[in-house]
Structure 1
Amino acid sequence: MDLKLITTFVPIVLMFGLMYLLLILPEKKRTKKYNEMMSSLKVNDEVLTRGGIMGRIVTCEETYFVIETSTARTKLKISKNGIASKINKDVE
């Protein structure tokens, strides 16, 4: 009776462990990296919004950024959640 119980639950436990390793840990790493990037953003950083708009940060507030998007100095007020990534400019 005990052997049947063990052989029933061991595959289920292994499946949950594998799911944790393949799905949950990588997502935690991505979230941590994104939060570090968001906290390091400052004025004059180039960013890409989730909508695909590229711009330079003009103003940093607690819940939003104001970005300048073109040579015509078009300014957009973007929620902090709307920033997808920081664009790195490598100077060579």
Structure 2
Amino acid sequence: MNNERLMKVLLAPIISEKSTRIAEQSSQFTFRVMTDATKREIASAVELLFEVKVDHVHVLNVKGKAKRVKQRLGKRQDWRKAYVRLKPGHDIDFGGGA
């Protein structure tokens, strides 16, 4: 795996009430990832970008919702979510403030 590919695997962190609670309780962080990313690529990307050690990765595919656009029926794009559990003693700080 080359570093250029790994830099593109993680699209964005998911910051919500559920993901914050999971991060506090079990050191598990949630990311939006590319649809063709594998578990190994996701783990390597997190380790490269945040300089932490990954314990386990769970991946799930989220189906896009059907939405009405004026008088036609449209559909949002499907996307992929990854739950990344870190090894004990490691943490990611998305706040960055004091």
Q: TM-score, normalised by structure 2?
A: 0.23
Task: Specify the structure having the higher radius of gyration (Cα).
Answer: 1
Q: TM-score, normalised by structure 1?
A: 0.24
More helix by share: 1
More strand by share: 2
Q: Which has the higher contact order (CA 8 A, sep 6+)?
A: 2
